[in-house]
Amino acid sequence: MDICEAVKSHPQGCTISFEVVPGSSRLAVPSGFNPWRRSIEAHLTEEPSRGRANRQLMAELAGALCISEHNIEVLSGHKSARKLLLVKGMAKDEAVFALEKKMK
């Protein structure tokens, strides 16, 4: 399991690749790592309607990284299970450390 593969440096901070399972019975962000897709898995309790799952993902990620939700933006995958999120103002190493800590 190497979360580093899902987190990339970006001029505004870093990007994180997610594989989302909406409508799950449990909430877990992050819930694991998918080495085949090189993305972090997230189980969300919200259904993918009217952006609810995206908002829940951003809120849970903000909590895991100890930052404001305003610093997280969905770059791609608004209506897809595969999403790319931008975390503004956070270096790749900081994000990897926080996500690894949350997964333990």
CATH level 2 (architecture), domain 3-103:
2-Layer Sandwich (3.30)
Q: Is the dihedral of CA 21, 74, 29, 49 positive or negative?
A: negative
* Mean pLDDT of the chain, nearest integer: 95
Q: Is the dihedral of CA 43, 79, 13, 6 positive or negative?
A: positive
Q: Are 46 and 23 in contact (CB under 8 A)?
A: yes
* pLDDT-derived band at 101, boundaries 50, 70, 90: very high
Segment 1-31, tens digit of pLDDT: 589 999 999 999 999 999 999 999 999 999 9
Q: Domain segments of the chain: what residues?
A: 3-103
Q: Tell me the Cα Rg of the chain.
A: 12
Segment 62-73, tens digit of pLDDT: 999 999 999 999
Residue 13 is predicted with a pLDDT of 98
Strands 39-43 and 13-21: parallel
pTM: 0.94
Q: Which residue type, as a one-letter code, is found at position 19?
A: E
The pLDDT > 70 percentage for the chain reads 99
Segment 56-95, tens digit of pLDDT: 999 999 999 999 999 999 999 999 999 999 999 999 999 9
